[in-house]
Amino acid sequence: MSEQENNKNWNKMKFKVSIKYKVLFSVIFTLICFNFAVTLINILIYTNKEMKKLNEKITANNLIIKSTITETLWNYNETQTRNNLDTFFEDQSIMSIKLIDYSGVLNIDLKKQNMDDSKLIYTDINLEKNNQELGKILVTYTRSGLNTQIYKTVIQMAALTIGLIVINSFVIVIILTIILKPINKILQGISQVKKGNLDFQINISNNDELGVLSESFDEMSMNLRKITASRDELNEEIEIRKKTEKELMEAIAKVRTLSGFLPICTHCKKIRDDKGYWEQIESYIKDHSEVEFSHSLCPDCTKKLYPDLYQKLYQDNSRLPQDE
């Protein structure tokens, strides 16, 4: 199949899609894009907001941890240090705490199970007092709560999008059905006119563009009927004239008349034709007309050539030629 035929078939397929569904698909696509954009914007706003809150929380926690652990570590209070770290570790947002004591006396490492590295925030706190470095605390926070909230937001927006699509689709189908009803009637009228039915009338009484289109279409159909009727009458008249001309030509062909001066011999009565040949008068007349000759004898010739036959044929005096 050639590329031209493929394009032709594709064009036919395109027109099979109703305007109703084109508009419906366009609205659905617009709603999806709009809600996707709104969802993305909400996620960005919510993420920035929650990250700001989380950073503020991390900063506040780190300050408390630094001040608390610095005092217990300065005083070499191992029990109090462990108790304080355990208390901080109970925070759900903290996934691990690691104390590095530069003196080597206290090294504590607390970790929770199933840590996802993609959701972790790493911080380190330097412990010092009186310009003396005592150690370092590595605290790891998680963003799992933030991700869970983002997931909930996405689900909510998706549900909202689906609800809007369903509601809008229902409303659009109703509206388009009302709008496309006269359009379908116009298409039906076009199809009827295409088939040659010029008596079809749309008769849409809408006071809008479709009503004007319907009225114009009906006027066009009426004008086409008049033009077609005039054309048919003209064709009929032409056919009659052609038939009459044909009959006339046939009649003219059958009727051939002799006119003008004919050179004829005064003795034998032969006639000279256009080519200079002499013909018997009956041959010449036969060739130049539709006359057919049947030969016989007149009474004078019969009397001259056949006297006996003349007496038998013309015994009745009434049949005899009269002498002048």
**Could you tell me which residues are beta bridge partners of residue 271?**
264, 279
Based on the fold, state whether residues 141 and 111 are members of the same structural domain.
yes
Give the C-alpha separation, 134 to 128, whole Å. 5
Mean pLDDT (the chain) is 77
Based on the fold, state whether residues 186 and 207 are members of the same structural domain.
no
Sign of the Cα torsion 53, 137, 148, 51 reads positive
List C-alpha distances in Å: 165 to 24, 32, 180, 221, 261.
Answer: 10, 8, 21, 42, 104
pLDDT at 324: 43
- Is there a domain that residue 207 lies in? yes
- Is there a domain that residue 38 lies in? yes
Single pTM value for the model = 0.42
Residue 66 structural domain:
9-195
pLDDT at 7: 54
pLDDT digits (tens, 9 = 90+) for 43-57: 788 778 878 888 888
- Is there a domain that residue 95 lies in? yes
If the chain, 324 residues long, is cut into consecutive pieces of 10 residues, what is the mean pLDDT of each piece?
Answer: 53 53 76 79 80 86 88 84 87 86 84 74 88 88 74 77 80 77 77 76 73 78 77 82 82 59 76 79 72 76 79 62 48
pLDDT at 91: 85
pLDDT at 10: 44
Q: What are phi and psi of 109, to 5 degrees?
A: -135, 110
pLDDT at 13: 43
**Could you tell me which residues are beta bridge partners of residue 105?**
none
For residue 48, count other CB atoms closer than 10 A to its CB.
10
- The DSSP letter of residue 264 is B
- Is there a domain that residue 265 lies in? no
Based on the fold, state whether residues 135 and 244 are members of the same structural domain.
no
Based on the fold, state whether residues 43 and 86 are members of the same structural domain.
yes
Based on the fold, state whether residues 64 and 169 are members of the same structural domain.
yes
Q: Who contacts 270 (Cβ-Cβ below 8 Å, separation ≥6)? A: 264, 278, 279, 280, 281
pLDDT at 4: 59
